[in-house]
């Protein structure tokens, strides 16, 4: 009995000590937050440092990154030549743009015919605009007028991992070789179908391309479907963030290795803050052709859709759009894995193809000055467009004087 009472007493003392330590830590954090509030009271317009709302506390913990990452996008403009809108043809998801042999190159998804959706005979129908695609490429002297050069990567033979569709392509040049990575679908395109990442390489941007025999990235497949109904929301276990699909790949040479960024979809996908539960991951290899090993830190984003990443200042920047609670932000990582928000943006184009020939170290968003995107002319058919952006760091109305006493021109009213 005495032994039990002693044990209870020790536990009680330990619990009290833990509670007191937690209380002291809480008071210390509260004191530090108040000191920060006093320092930033005028800047943040805080009325009373003794009464801080949850929103104000979040603002006090914002990183001090300035406005050098903030940009505004203009309306996408139609292209000329073979990439102008063509009824009956889907051209979408442009790759990054590289400049070789005195001209620009871009690769993209191409298919023909209307979209049928799910249901019916999916052996014969076309489920999405990106279903039954091949990868084509085009060249341009000025980035506006494009010549379609032909198919670069076709679908594989029946029974291969890419026999249904190859699409959403990205380009990387490394040591005079060229690498295309892209999404693949195999077999019948039903709701629970997986999507994997394939790769091909060439000695020339004009090909011919040699496809790898197996995908370089595949879904984790560690969730468990509930029942046999073709329904992606019915699950016993969801699994990793990429348990269902891996797509939108982009490879960057980084710190002596190759970082393959990709979008993951989870089995039993949910909605978060009204946005789809889409997140990004990264897989790393010593060689451009792999093998690629998924980072143990995945997922590396809370939001996003298409991958749009570029090197800057020793780290990697990422444009996060479309889905999730952190959508419409630019994020930056010092190590290619741990990303923080550096800007909040609006109206970002879909499926950006970055101008990889730009001087991406000139300033944070130089690589976004112009590039390619796609537009839904209607649900059945899409076309590739050109986007542009302007760097915006302050807000000044037309004719108003700036801090240095100069008047702002109307066309530069937000710079």
Q: Which residue has the tokens 């023909």?
A: 112
Where is 136: in which H helix or E strand?
A: strand 134-140
Burial of 26 (0-12, 13-18, 19+ CB in 10 A): exposed
| pLDDT higher than 70, residue 8 | no
Tell me the pLDDT tens digit for each residue of 110-124: 999 999 999 888 888
Question: What is the C-alpha to C-alpha distance for residues 394 and 343, in angstroms, rounded to an integer?
Answer: 13
As beta bridge partners, residue 295 has none
| pLDDT higher than 90, residue 18 | no
Q: What is the mean pLDDT of residues 308-327?
A: 96
Question: What is the C-alpha to C-alpha distance for residues 25 and 32, in angstroms, rounded to an integer?
Answer: 11
Instruction: Please state the separation of Cα 126 from the chain's center in Å.
Output: 26
Least confident of 30-39, 203-212, 315-324, 391-400: 391-400
Distances (CA, A) of 132 to 246, 301, 303: 18, 30, 28
As a CATH number, domain 71-391 is: 2.115.10.20
| pLDDT higher than 60, residue 414 | no
Question: What is the C-alpha to C-alpha distance for residues 338 and 325, in angstroms, rounded to an integer?
Answer: 17
Q: What is the mean pLDDT of residues 256-264?
A: 98
Question: What is the C-alpha to C-alpha distance for residues 394 and 3, in angstroms, rounded to an integer?
Answer: 70
- The token duo for 131 is 């279903």
In 3-state terms, what secondary structure has residue 10?
helix
Residue pair 111/129 in contact by the 8 Å Cβ criterion = yes
pLDDT of res. 359: 96
What is the residue-averaged pLDDT of the chain? 91
Q: Which residue has the tokens 């699994």?
A: 239
Least confident of 184-193, 226-235, 319-328, 403-412: 403-412
* 224-225 and 235-237 strand pairing: antiparallel
Confidence of residue 407 (pLDDT cuts 50, 70, 90): low
* 145-153 and 80-81 strand pairing: parallel
Strands (E), 286-335: 293-294, 309-312, 315-320, 329-333
Burial of 195 (0-12, 13-18, 19+ CB in 10 A): buried
pLDDT of res. 377: 96
pLDDT of res. 400: 82
| pLDDT higher than 80, residue 96 | yes
Tell me the pLDDT tens digit for each residue of 59-93: 998 877 778 999 999 999 999 999 999 999 999 99
**Bigger pLDDT: 400 or 310?**
310
Spans of all domains in the chain: 2-60, 71-391
| C-alpha torsion 133→135→140→145, nearest 10 | 0
Least confident of 42-51, 88-97, 276-285, 375-384: 42-51
């Amino acid at each position: 009995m005495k032994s039990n009472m002693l044990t209870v007493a020790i536990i009680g003392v330990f619990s009290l000590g833990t509670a007191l330590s937690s209380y002291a830590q809480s008071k210390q954090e509260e004191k530090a937050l108040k000191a920060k509030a006093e320092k930033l009271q005028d800047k943040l317009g805080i009325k009373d440092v003794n009464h801080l709302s949850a929103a104000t506390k979040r603002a006090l913990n914002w990183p001090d990154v300035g406005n050098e990452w903030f940009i505004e996008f203009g309306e996408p403009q139609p292209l000329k030549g073979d990439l102008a809108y063509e009824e009956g043809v889907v051209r979408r998801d442009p790759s990054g743009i590289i400049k070789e042999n005195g001209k620009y190159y871009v690769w993209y998804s191409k298919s023909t015919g209307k979209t049928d959706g799910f249901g019916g005979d999916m052996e014969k129908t076309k489920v999405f605009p990106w279903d039954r695609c091949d990868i084509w490429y085009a060249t341009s002297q000025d980035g506006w007028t494009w010549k379609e050069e032909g198919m670069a990567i076709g679908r594989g033979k029946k029974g291969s991992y890419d026999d249904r569709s190859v699409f959403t392509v990205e380009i990387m040049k490394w040591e005079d070789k060229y690498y295309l990575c892209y999404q693949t679908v195999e077999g019948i395109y039903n709701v629970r179908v997986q999507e994997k990442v394939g790769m091909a390489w060439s000695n020339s941007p004009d090909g011919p391309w040699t496809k790898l025999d197996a995908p370089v990235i595949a879904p984790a497949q560690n969730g468990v479907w509930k029942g046999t109904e073709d329904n992606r929301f019915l699950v016993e276990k969801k699994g990793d963030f990429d348990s269902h699909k891996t797509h939108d790949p982009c490879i960057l040479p980084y710190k002596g290795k190759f970082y393959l960024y990709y979008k993951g979809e989870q089995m039993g996908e949910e909605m978060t803050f009204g946005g789809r539960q889409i997140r990004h991951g990264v897989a790393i290899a010593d060689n451009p052709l792999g093998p690629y090993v998924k980072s143990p830190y995945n997922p590396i984003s809370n939001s996003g859709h298409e991958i749009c990443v570029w090197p800057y200042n020793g780290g990697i920047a990422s444009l996060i759009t479309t889905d999730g609670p952190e959508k419409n932000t630019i994020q930056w990582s010092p190590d290619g894995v741990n990303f923080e928000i550096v800007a909040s943006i609006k109206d970002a184009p879909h499926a950006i193809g970055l101008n990889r020939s730009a001087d991406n170290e000139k300033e944070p968003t130089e690589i976004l000055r112009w590039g390619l995107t796609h537009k839904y002319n209607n649900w059945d058919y899409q076309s590739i467009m050109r986007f542009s952006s302007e760097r915006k760091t302050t807000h000044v109305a037309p004719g108003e004087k700036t801090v240095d006493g100069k008047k702002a021109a109307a066309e530069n009213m937000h710079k």
